[in-house]
Amino acid sequence: MSTWASDLRVLRQLLLHRTTGSTHQDRLESFYGKQAGDYDGFRSRLLHGRQPLIEQLDFTDGGVWVDLGCGTGENVTLAGDRAGCLSEVHLVDLSPSLMGIAKRRDLAGPVVRTHLADATTFRAIDRPADLVTFSYSLTMIPDWFAAVDAAIQLLRPGGRIGVTDFYVSRKHADPPLRQHGWLRRAFWQHWFAADNVFLSGDHLAMLQRKFKTLHLSEHTGKVPYLPMLRAPYYVFIGQLD
């Protein structure tokens, strides 16, 4: 019963709430403020790329991990003991409500620091990062070009980036990338844009241009309560030269 009540609160926010605000932070808080406590339960059945991304990541002994647009910090929990070898984990998000939940996360081993900050300008680490991740956050950052540049600035040479997100292909995707038809591209772009989530065919192209591709896989995943729909998403891991 509690799961139904939690889902109902999320669905009410998704379907009936009008997102307002004059700044990106205001709009994020307008959207997430009333569903932050229910976020992880519902999204665990929608954000299918999170677990595969975490499983593909290598965590460096004594390394630094920066999770940009961390939301509630669920990636820390998913990483569990595998990330225990790190020295520092930095969780960065612009939503106060989501960050409030992230602050309660715990990971044995490294120091976990939370930052209420803009992912496009965040630099508050003492030494270069070994790993930067975007987990379903790149599509929610208006200036995503700046977010990718921020990741590059944070990483040490040879450091890695891990990204998973919803996407659509370019109109003419280069093989071996998947080609989505015009109806799928249009549907999913309009569907997610209603919640200020902006799918793009350029995210993967930019990531492949800026980083050496170590892993790339493209998938579709079920949407809660809409069994006929499967949203496209990708998992990407790259290395900075």
What lies within 8 Å, CB to CB, of 2 at 6+ separation is none
- Rounded to whole angstroms, what are the CA distances from 65 to 57, 111, 131? 11, 10, 5
- Rounded to whole angstroms, what are the CA distances from 96 to 26, 27, 193, 218? 10, 12, 22, 32
Per-residue pLDDT at 172: 96
| Type of residue numbered 152 | I
Nearest residue to 76 (alpha-carbon basis) of 122, 123, 40, 117: 40
Per-residue pLDDT at 66: 98
Element (H, E) at 43: helix 39-43
Strand, coil or helix: what is 15? helix
62 is in which domain, residue-wise?
2-239
Residue 154 near residue 66 (C-beta atoms within 8 A):
yes
Structure token pair of residue 44: 């665990």
Per-residue pLDDT at 16: 60
Per-residue pLDDT at 167: 98
Q: How many folded domains does the chain comprise?
A: 1
Where residue 142 sits, what CATH number does that domain have?
3.40.50.150
Strand, coil or helix: what is 74? helix
Residue range 7-37, pLDDT digits in tens: 666 666 666 667 788 899 988 888 777 777 7
| Number of neighbours of residue 24 by Cβ within 10 angstroms | 17
| Type of residue numbered 51 | Q
Per-residue pLDDT at 1: 40
End-to-end CA distance of the chain: 50
The DSSP 8-state label assigned to residue 96 in this structure reads: H
- Rounded to whole angstroms, what are the CA distances from 12 to 15, 30, 38, 64, 150? 5, 13, 12, 38, 34
Q: Which residues of the chain have pLDDT under 50?
A: 1
Count the alpha carbons within 13 Å of 143 in the hemisphere toward its beta carbon: 11
Per-residue pLDDT at 112: 93
